[in-house]
Amino acid sequence: MSAFAIPLTVVGSINADITATTERLPGPGETVGGGTLTRSPGGKGANTAVAAARLGARTRMIGAVGTDPTGTEVIAALRQAGVTVDSIAEVDAETGTALITVDAHGENTIAVCEGANAHVSIDGHDFADDTVLTQLEIPMTVVSALARTVRGFFVVNAAPALPLPAEVIDRADLIIVNESEYAALPQLRSARSVAVTSGAKGSTLFSRGEQIAHAPARRVTPVSTVGAGDAFCAALTIALRAGIPAEAALRTANAVGAYAVTDPSARPAFPTLDHFLSETGPAHDLLPTGPGKDKDRR
Ligand code: RIB
């Protein structure tokens, strides 16, 4: 079994993404025509779960969708990717939707309508000693409840950017932010472990404000960066839990994130473990051959 086959629970958002690809992003009050429309499953939580499953993690998703046909479609996409979907609730609301615009340089804007994601709950769920990864497209009360409940490795992708409660910062084993968020949130200097993504400059791991590892980015021409952060979070979490040292884990996550930007939609370019290993060269040497640190649970 791959060292990446860790038991992972993702608690987070599940969306349908409606993406317009246009030459440039519209400004306030402006209409830009000539777009190409794509509908695809998305959501920071669900994207992370799919990226993790493709890399070989035994991934369960806790989230919520509506009872509408979109809810059925987004669950089917997760199931098809190998994610365990039994813990996804169907609630009386519309399935979450993200309205995305991507320009010719891969820049984007995203407007999210939370819908069913506002009803995510962890009541009645058992986490055993799973690694648990969450994001901030679900109620912060749920993130705080996770901080009080999770016994295993607890990871918070602080996206979209919001101030984190002290109990979450104190409990998290790993917080992932981008560099402007790290600069804007001084309280993160007290966190045990913070991974900071800096786009083309790569990513850096800090502990209590001190840099402990850095890895440069892989050079790639972005088609769309939507979902790249989600893939980065999945890969970094899995690599660290698989026992890969910090600098190499960052390098692995940068490489997985670089794959993700090569498609207009969030998920199609997320690599499988075999694909990743066949193309990344040096990263191949980084993978321990034994089982990961987590014990088998499912
Ligand atoms: O991180 C990318 C995701 O953010 C998109 O898939 C969209 O659904 C928004 O939630």
Question: pLDDT of 41-53, one tens digit each?
Answer: 999 999 999 999 9
Among 105-114, 185-194, 212-221, 282-291, whose mean pLDDT is lowest? 282-291
As to burial, measured by CB atoms within 10 angstroms (0-12 exposed, 13-18 middle, 19+ buried), residue 145 is middle
Q: Which atom of ligand 1 is nearest to the CA of 230?
A: 1
* Among candidate residues 188, 196, 184, the one with its CA nearest the CA of residue 172: 188
* Residue 244 CA to ligand 1 centre (angstroms): 28
Residue 82 scores a pLDDT above 60:
yes
What would the 3-class secondary structure string for the chain be?
CCCCCCEEEEECCCEEEEEEECCCCCCCCCCCCCCEEEEEEECHHHHHHHHHHHCCCEEEEEEEEECCHHHHHHHHHHHHCCCECCCEEEECCCCEEEEEEECCCCCEEEEEECHHHHHCCCCCCCCCCCEEEEECCCCHHHHHHHHHHCCCCEEEECCCCCCCCHHHHHHCCEEEEEHHHHHHCHHHHHCCCEEEECHHHCEEEEECCEEEEEECCCCCCCCCCCCHHHHHHHHHHHHHHCCCCHHHHHHHHHHHHHHHCCCCCCCCCCCCHHHHHHHHHHHHHHCCCCCCCCCCCC
Amino acid identity for residue 43 in this structure: G
**Number of CB atoms found within 10 A of residue 122's CB:** 20
Q: Does residue 76 have a pLDDT over 70?
A: yes
* pLDDT of 287 strictly over 70: no
Contact 264, 38 (CB under 8 A): yes
Given a cut of 80, whether residue 12 has pLDDT beyond it is yes
Nearest atom, ligand 1, residue 13 CA = 10
| Lookup: tokens for 82 | 């190998």
**279: pLDDT confidence band, cut at 50, 70 and 90?**
low
CA of 77 to the centre of ligand 1 (A): 15
Q: Is 77 in the pocket of ligand 1 (CB under 6 A)?
A: no
CB 45 within 8 A of CB 63: yes
Band of residue 94 on the pLDDT scale cut at 50, 70, 90:
very high
Tell me the average pLDDT of the chain: 90
Question: In the predicted model, is pLDDT for residue 286 greater than 70?
Answer: no
Residue 230 falls in the annotated catalytic set: yes
**122 Cα–ligand 1 center, Å:** 21
Checking if the pLDDT of 218 tops 80, the result is yes
CA of 44 to the centre of ligand 1 (A): 5
Q: Residue 184 has what pLDDT?
A: 86
Looking at residues 158-181, what average pLDDT do you find?
94
Of 130, 173, 230, 294, the active-site residue reads 230
Mean pLDDT of 8-31: 97
Residue nearest to atom 2 of ligand 1 (CA): 227
- Domains of the chain with CATH codes: 7-22+37-274 (3.40.1190.20)
Query: pLDDT per residue over 177-206, tens digit each?
Result: 999 889 888 999 999 999 999 988 999 999
Which of the pair, 289 or 163, is modelled with greater confidence? 163
Position 284 scores a pLDDT of: 43
Residue whose CA is at the smallest distance from ligand 1 atom 6: 42
CB 24 within 8 A of CB 103: yes
Q: Which atom of ligand 1 is nearest to the CA of 17?
A: 8
